[in-house]
Amino acid sequence: MATILAIETSCDETSVAVVRDCQVLSNVVSSQIAIHQQYGGVVPEVASRQHVEIINWALAHSLEQAQLDWSGIDGIAATAAPGLVGALLVGLTAAKTLAMLHQKPFLGVHHLEGHIYASYLSEPALEPPFLCLLVSGGHTSLIYVKDCGHYETLGQTRDDAAGEAFDKVARLMNLGYPGGPVIDRLAAEGNPQAFSLPEGQVSLPEGGYHRYDSSFSGLKTAVLRLSQKLQQSEGALPVADLAASFQDTVARSLTKRAIACALDYGLDTIAVGGGVAANKGLRRRLQAAAAERNLRVLFPPMQFCTDNAAMIGCAAADHFNRGHRSPLTLGTQSRMAIANVMQLYAT
Ligand code: KG4
Ligand code: ZN
């Protein structure tokens, strides 16, 4: 058993958690959404400054809630990649400094591996292999989870991430930021069949379409064109019907790919992670399609779908128990394939 203090600052949430393997002892999350809302999206420099302001408070609060002092902590972890470099640097530097000060092992964590481990927080008995559908503001991936630290990306988006598509469509409909929750809310009152929208497909050079890759930029453009046309002809936009039709198209696209991928690779469990895992349309469609095929779908509780340090700590604990440690010279990286997770650890 490992008790890990973990820090997550890869984007716009400052989070510090204490976990004992998959058990969450504390998970403090301070969201910057209200600050970035006025700009219509995350401003990297503002995010870094805000992390600096909040990090010490979050650290103190997290230890206090876990009712532990530093003597009860076995290792200190932080997200090292991928993410906004300046934002990552705040959490990573704090973790390395604390590791030196308190003479504890230090572990850098891959952000996407953290999202995969969110499923273990509510399902500690989960065992690889399984498929992870990771749908967030920055990523849309189908990941074959082989073992701790060993992953293969089987499918991904060729342009916008699913959450990014929700955010961009909400912006063009003047619904504010972040777009996912507001579109989800409006979609509940709309007709998903009101408008027929194109589900982006990725062509293969040999003909046909990629079974697992997705594309959302064409869908976003289609919503833009349709909104312009409707505005000219009707005056006001039928926002609920538009939101429902857009959301259903995204949910259908993700469901089709995840089910095909799980069946092709003989995986009986699909663990969903990332902010878009909260989406009610996606949950409904994926659960229904999986039940038809006798597949199991796991949706972590909402607080573990969006960015949080508990999932980072849970991933770090598994690495810690396997003897993996990161060098204090480890730096941040804005991009890093999940296949390269083990590069974060000295062998
Ligand atoms: O995982 P996350 O908190 O941060 C990243 O790592 O990106 O995901 C944030 C994304 C945003 O794009 C937001 O619009 C989307 O998740 N999101 C949703 C919902 N709640 C959050 N998208 C669709 N439906 C939702 N209910
Ligand atoms: Zn994330």
Q: What's the pLDDT at 239?
A: 96
Which ligand 1 atom is the nearest neighbour of the CA of 139?
7
Measured in Å, residue 63 CA sits from the centre of ligand 1 at 28
The residue nearest atom 18 of ligand 1, judged by CA position, is: 180
- The CA distance from 88 to 7, in Å, is 10
The answer to whether the CB of 149 is under 6 A from ligand 1 is no
Is 78 within 8 Å of 309 (Cβ atoms)? no
Q: What's the pLDDT at 5?
A: 98
Q: What's the pLDDT at 162?
A: 97
Give the tens place of pLDDT for each residue, 303-328: 999 999 999 999 999 999 999 999 99
Q: Which ligand is nearest to the CA of 305?
A: 1
Q: Which ligand is nearest to the CA of 161?
A: 1
- DSSP lists the bridge partners of residue 81 as 110
Going along the chain from its start, the domains and CATH numbers come out as 3-118+305-344 (3.30.420.40), 128-299 (3.30.420.40)
Task: Using pLDDT thresholds of 50, 70 and 90, give the confidence band for residue 49.
Answer: very high
The residue nearest atom 23 of ligand 1, judged by CA position, is: 180
Q: Is the pLDDT of residue 347 over 80?
A: no
Measured in Å, residue 33 CA sits from the centre of ligand 2 at 14
Q: What's the pLDDT at 177?
A: 87
Q: Measuring CA to CA, how many Å separate 68 from each of 93, 108, 187, 267?
A: 22, 22, 44, 39
Give the tens place of pLDDT for each residue, 222-265: 999 999 999 999 888 999 999 999 999 999 999 999 999 999 99
- The CA distance from 8 to 307, in Å, is 8
| Beta-carbon neighbours within 5 Å of ion ligand 2 | 136, 307
- The CA distance from 77 to 260, in Å, is 35
Q: Is the pLDDT of residue 341 over 80?
A: yes
Q: Is the pLDDT of residue 89 over 70?
A: yes
